[in-house]
Structure 1
Amino acid sequence: MKKIFATLLALTMVMAMLAGCGSNNAAGDANADNSNNTQTQEPVETTLSGSVSTNGSTSMEKVIGVLSEQFMTDNSSVTVTYDATGSGTGIEAAKNGTCDIGLSSRALKDEEVAGGLVGTTVALDGIAVIVNADSKVADLTVEQIAQIFTGAVTDWSEVGGDASAISCVGREAGSGTRDGFESITGTKDACVLAQELTSTGAVIEAVKGNANAIGYASLSSVEGQDGIKALTVGGVACTEDTVLDGSYAIQRPFVLVTKDGAALSEQAQAFFDFATSTAANDLIKAAGAVPVAK
């Protein structure tokens, strides 16, 4: 009996020792797991925040609008603002640092580049020559357009329309659209305008309201508009394809303006990189302009 009792006691002690070892091993394994988890934990990603200010061309409104909307959707802590002041003001704002990125609907001039500015083309835009929807005129050459805007041709009957005095509508001095139009047609400082307006939208409305009017506006602003029609120029319609292949004569670039050697803020640089990447191409097309990123 004593032998049986001793045997049972010994077995009990061995089992207790084994249980203790198992507990210690489990604790050790758990500690090892926790240690491994701590070592492999990935760092928390930082997100962009703050604001990006853009200033300039009224013709770039749709393009900047869609790019800003998508960028803010992707970066919810960033606000992109747009001040539609005209190309000249936007270029000056980029120069004096009152905005992050200036917007110009014309290429920078030599003196502006020499003054420390950099222009990056984000898209191309056709400048559509527009008349009232009821006009009989459908096509003009660049030469005829120049003659009309300089006053050499003053009656629609001279270019295939009904006999009536032509009313020329244009943009204000400093407008990128005006600069592009006058540079291409050779009418710089020679246009005779019945109305000189401060926005693309105002030009479109003026032509809608006057059966004898002719004006010019960005392709992206003209598409889908009632009450006006875009003329073909030398037989070529103003479309994305003809602007991109260069067959449409009256076109200009949409330009992001920055200061040479001056670093943008992190959020402004991210917006700039997005706007000039292929990721923005479909958005630019949807806004009626022609993307250039490849």
Structure 2
Amino acid sequence: MKKVIGLAAAIGLMTTSLVQADSTITVSGSTSVTNVMEVLSENYKQTAGKTVEVQGTGSSAGIRAAKDGTSMIGMSSREVKTNEMSADTKGTVIARDGIAIAVNNSNPIKNLTKEQVAKIYRGEVKNWKEVGGENKPIVVVTRDTASGTRGAFEDILKLKRKVNGIKVSAIAATAQVGNGNGMVKTIVANNPFAIGYISLGSVDSSLKALAVDGYKASDNNIAAGDYTIARPFVLLMKDDVNKEAREFVNYILSDTGQNIIVNEGYIRVN
């Protein structure tokens, strides 16, 4: 009898574990999207009682995870290329975000043109005096190559070049690399001559976001199309993903979810 009870208890525990695993929604990808996704998941757990596990692994990794099914939902903070998708994987835009050009608070520069920003990142402009600032060398800070923010930044500013017929980054090899918005913020906030780019929703008082072509990086200017260094936040799912994952995405697209997106500093899509 004891063995039977023990076996029944073991089966019960296994069943409970499987139910818990099935009810957990897994999300991975862009570190930029991760910030707002964690807030959305916390609110969703309070209202729907469902657990959402969020991992910031980078946009490219998130796209792959959705495509191969290792995550129910993948996150990308850039447009997803056709050759990255599979026939049974679909993308949904849940928000829009500006990419802020950030400098140290002590930097007197308030505005740059897109062309000036591009030249700084190509290494063609190396001193702040060339763009109206002090006679000091520019410390360029970029993101790692797997970053969706970097991918969007390079696409928007045309920071690609061809080498032997293959497109590669045109960002200067001397640029410092920050792994995530937080690292870029830390470098720029602690170096008076640094320039970096981060998600607009991550901008705080530790640094200064520059106007570009005379337009401040703001929700209104992005929505109007005046501030053009902007990108979508995309969620990717396979067609056969379970209903729990789809319900979570529907929650994000609902008025409640979109209000959370706005409160976190991003632009709603409906």
TM-score range normalised by the length of the shorter chain: 0.7 to 0.9
The residue that corresponds to 2:254 in the other structure is 277
**Structure 2 residue aligned with 1:134:** 106
Please name the residue that 1:52 is paired with.
Answer: 25
Q: Distance in 2 between matches of 1:118 and 1:165?
A: 45
Give TM-score scaled by structure 1 length.
0.79
Give how far 1:227 is off.
Answer: 2.8
State the structure with more CA Rg.
1
Partner of 1:269: helix, strand, or coil?
A: helix
Q: CA deviation at 1:116?
A: 4.0
Deviation, structure 1 residue 182: 0.8
Aligned to 2:228: 249
1:196 aligns with 2:169: no
CA contact (8 A) 1:135 1:211 kept: yes
Matched to 1:190, the amino acid is A
Q: After TM superposition, list the pairs within 5 Å mapping 1:73-112 onto structure 2.
A: 73-76=46-49, 78-112=50-84
> C-alpha distance in 1, partners of 2:258/2:28?
21
1:119 maps to what in 2?
91
Q: Write out aligned runs for 1:4-23 (5 A).
A: none
- What secondary structure is seen at the aligned counterpart in 2 of 1:122? strand
CA distance in 2 between partners of 1:243 and 1:167 (Å): 27
Separation of aligned partners in 2, 1:213 and 1:184: 21
Is the aligned partner of 1:158 residue 2:158?
A: no
Deviation of 1:138 after TM superposition, in Å, equals 0.6
Distance between the aligned counterparts of 1:199 and 1:103, measured in 2?
A: 14
**Equivalent residue letter for 2:170:** A
Could you report, residue by residue, the CA deviation over 1:146-172 in whole angstroms, capped at 9, with x for unpaired residues?
A: 000001100000001100110100100
Q: Secondary structure at 2:237's aligned position in 1?
A: strand
> Does 1:237 pair with 2:216?
yes
Amino acid at match of 1:284: I
Per-residue deviation, residues 104-154 of structure 1 (Å, max 9, x unmatched): 001110112355431110000000000010001110000000000001100
Whole-angstrom distance in 1 between the partners of 2:126 and 2:195: 11
Q: Distance in 1 between matches of 2:56 and 2:184?
A: 15
CA contact (8 A) 1:133 1:227 kept: yes
SS in 2 for 1:290: coil
Preserved CA contact (<8 Å) 2:24 2:53: yes
Residue 231 of structure 1 and its aligned partner are, at CA, apart by 0.2
Q: Distance in 1 between matches of 2:242 and 2:135?
A: 58
Cα distance in 2 for partners of 1:258, 1:158 equals: 46
- Unmatched 5+ residue regions in structure 2? 1-21, 161-168
Unpaired runs of 5+ residues, structure 1, are: 1-48
Q: Which moved more, 1:149-158 or 1:268-277?
A: 268-277
1:276 is displaced (CA, Å) by 1.8
SS at match of 2:24: strand
Distance in 1 (CA, whole Å) between partners of 2:181 and 2:241 is 29
How many equivalent pairs are there? 240
Contact 1:57–1:176 (CA under 8 A) maintained in structure 2: yes
**2:188 pairs with 1:207:** yes
SS at match of 2:259: helix
Which residue number in structure 2 is paired with residue 8 of structure 1?
none
- Higher mean alpha-carbon deviation, 130-139 vs 274-283, is at 274-283
Report the CA distance between 1:75 and its aligned residue.
1.5
Q: 1:226 aligns with which of 205, 208, 211?
A: 205
1:292 aligns with 2:269: yes
Q: How large is the Cα RMSD of the aligned pairs?
A: 1.3
The amino acid that maps onto 2:40 is: L
